[in-house]
């Protein structure tokens, strides 16, 4: 398999649908790195163009990679080793294309049904063929239209049984990675 | 269905396996309430015997139930309405038994295989029969032995494909609720 993920902080939308940049959340770094490590994701890209936010991410990673946290919690160190910081989604696509030898299939996720949809089953099938796949997740109220337009496919929204559709991005990433990559013990 | 969940802050274990009480994490309240609301959980019990921690939980809930947050984000308000604060697990069991008319089946979750195990499929079957079920989740490094001993069953650990087994409790709850209660769009 050749699956990478990217968490986008710009461009995303706010509750009014306006395009904004969001602040990095500490537990997004940790929780999504731990889920990525669990499910065999190769690279977890954090995308933000803001220098202060990049410095924050680097400080947190350094604490757990080479600072006090590295000795205190080796499991956290190995998860955070997957994190890569990038200015823009195009930078991520360029890096993945360079490393994988071809442009990745861009698959977005959304709380609303968007664009050309792909099923979880079809995505699993493509993962098994080792096709390079880049999964995109949005912070704030979701990915901006210009990101959704770049995507090749969109996964269906995660629905429970209640119609309530407001999971945290940490929960959404965890569930989607489990659906795509979790062992079939769930049967 | 008649499913409740409880997040235990005491007694849990630290990395050395000693029994401790843990501090409440703000995003545990939010993320797990939002996942509970998504998947139709009736009550999300937060268990801590510490008065200062109970005050913190109450302040956060009040902010989103009746304070500024209630108007700002009604979706968050409806998720946090599921939260119930209790001193001990026995208090939770007593309340659930009173509301459901019978003692719930206690099912624990663990990063290690423990005690008498139950499959996700068998748990789903029991949920469909409307049997009262209380799912227990531990903070810190997991539930203490005295909690595990009270359980009727333990769900298998969530394994990815890497052997890495250190998900956040927020991720673990999200994945387990999806496996037990998510729509079958995952097929």
Confidence (pLDDT) at B70: 87
Contacts for A101 with CB less than 8 Å, ≥ 6 apart: A132
Q: What is the pTM of this model?
A: 0.95
Among candidates B160, B168, B181 on the partner chain, residue whose Cβ is nearest the Cβ of A40:
B160
A29 touches A62 (CB < 8 A): no
Alpha carbon A89 to chain centroid distance?
Answer: 11
Mutate to test the interface with B, among A44, A80, A81, A160 (most CBs of B within 10 A): A160
Query: Hey, are the CB atoms on B174 and A177 less than 8 Å from each other?
Result: no
Domain residue ranges in chain A: 3-186
Å from A80 to nearest chain B CA?
Answer: 12
**Interchain CB contact of A116 with B (< 8 Å):** no
Peptide bond between residue A71 and the one before it cis (omega within 30 degrees of 0): no
What distances in angstroms separate CA B153 from CA A151, A162, B95, B105, B158, one per listed residue? 43, 27, 20, 8, 15
Chain A residues with CB under 8 Å of B156 CB are 185
Å from B154 to nearest chain A CA?
Answer: 14
Contacts for B78 with CB less than 8 Å, ≥ 6 apart: A164, B37
Nearest CA in chain A to B29: A168
- Token duo for residue B3: 């499913």
- Helices A120-128, A169-181: inter-axial angle, 10-degree rounding: 60
Query: Hey, are the CB atoms on B34 and A165 less than 8 Å from each other?
Result: no
Instruction: Give strand pairing partners of A17.
Output: none
**Interchain CB contact of B164 with A (< 8 Å):** yes
Confidence (pLDDT) at A187: 40
Please give the biggest Cα pair distance in chain B: 46
**Interchain CB contact of A182 with B (< 8 Å):** yes
Query: Hey, are the CB atoms on B181 and A168 less than 8 Å from each other?
Result: no
Query: Hey, are the CB atoms on B175 and A174 less than 8 Å from each other?
Result: yes
Distance, CA of A179 to CA of A186 (rounded, Å): 10
CATH 3.40.1280.10 fits A3-186, yes or no: yes
Query: Hey, are the CB atoms on A161 and B171 less than 8 Å from each other?
Result: no
Q: Exposure pattern of A9-44 as b/e (b: 16+ CB <10 Å)?
A: bbbbbeeeeeebbbebbebbbbbbbbbbbbbbbbbb
Q: Which helix (H) or strand (E) segment is A172 a member of?
A: helix A169-181
> To 5 degrees, how large is the angle CA B36–CA A142–CA A139?
80
Of the candidates B109, B181, B174, B102, which has an alpha carbon nearest to the alpha carbon of residue B147?
B109
- Token duo for residue B51: 């008065």
Give the gyration radius of chain A's Cα atoms. 16
Among candidates B35, B161, B168 on the partner chain, residue whose Cβ is nearest the Cβ of A31:
B168
Distance, CA of B138 to CA of B147 (rounded, Å): 9
**What parts of chain A have a pLDDT lower than 70?**
113-114, 183-187
- Token duo for residue A94: 């360029």
CATH architecture of B2-186: 3-Layer(aba) Sandwich (3.40)
Among candidates B31, B177, B185 on the partner chain, residue whose Cβ is nearest the Cβ of A168:
B31
Query: Hey, are the CB atoms on B164 and A120 less than 8 Å from each other?
Result: no
What distances in angstroms separate CA B145 from CA B19, B110, B170, one per listed residue? 9, 11, 21
Among candidates B35, B121, B160 on the partner chain, residue whose Cβ is nearest the Cβ of A171:
B35
Please, where are the H alpha helices in B11-106?
A: 26-39, 51-65, 68-72, 74-80, 89-100
Confidence (pLDDT) at B169: 97
Q: Which helix (H) or strand (E) segment is B171 a member of?
A: helix B169-181
Confidence (pLDDT) at A113: 67
Of the candidates B173, B151, B154, B148, which has an alpha carbon nearest to the alpha carbon of residue B109?
B154
Q: What is the pLDDT along chain B (187 residues), one digit of tens a residue?
A: 999 999 999 999 999 999 999 999 999 999 999 999 999 999 999 999 999 999 999 999 999 999 888 888 888 999 999 999 999 999 999 999 999 999 999 999 877 766 778 999 999 999 999 999 999 999 999 999 999 999 999 999 998 778 888 999 999 999 999 999 996 544 4
Collapsed DSSP state (helix, strand, coil) of residue A2: coil
**Interchain CB contact of B141 with A (< 8 Å):** no
**Burial class (CB within 10 angstroms; exposed 0-12, middle 13-18, buried 19+) of B39:** buried
Instruction: Give strand pairing partners of B3.
Output: B133
Q: Chain A window 16-35: which residues touch B at a Cβ cutoff of 8 Å?
A: 27, 30-31, 34-35
Of the candidates B117, B118, B95, which has an alpha carbon nearest to the alpha carbon of residue B180?
B118
Å from A167 to nearest chain B CA?
Answer: 6
**Interchain CB contact of A168 with B (< 8 Å):** yes
Confidence (pLDDT) at A183: 67
């Amino acid at each position: 398999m050749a699956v990478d993920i990217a968490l986008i902080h710009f461009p995303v939308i706010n509750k009014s649908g306006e395009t904004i940049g969001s602040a990095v959340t500490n537990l997004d770094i940790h929780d999504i790195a731990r889920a990525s490590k669990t499910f065999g994701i190769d690279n977890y890209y954090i995308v933000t163009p803001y220098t202060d936010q990049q410095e924050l991410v680097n400080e947190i990673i350094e604490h757990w990679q080479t600072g006090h946290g590295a000795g205190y919690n080796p499991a956290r160190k190995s998860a955070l080793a997957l994190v890569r910081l990038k200015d823009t989604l195009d930078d991520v696509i360029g890096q993945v294309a360079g490393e994988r030898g071809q442009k990745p299939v861009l698959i977005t996720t959304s709380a609303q049904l968007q664009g050309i949809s792909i099923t979880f089953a079809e995505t699993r099938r493509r993962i098994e063929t080792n096709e390079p796949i880049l999964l995109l997740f949005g912070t704030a109220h979701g990915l901006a239209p210009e990101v959704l337009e770049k995507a090749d496919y969109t996964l269906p929204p995660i629905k429970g049984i209640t119609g309530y559709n407001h999971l945290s991005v940490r929960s959404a990433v965890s569930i989607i990675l489990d659906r795509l990559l979790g062992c079939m013990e769930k049967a």
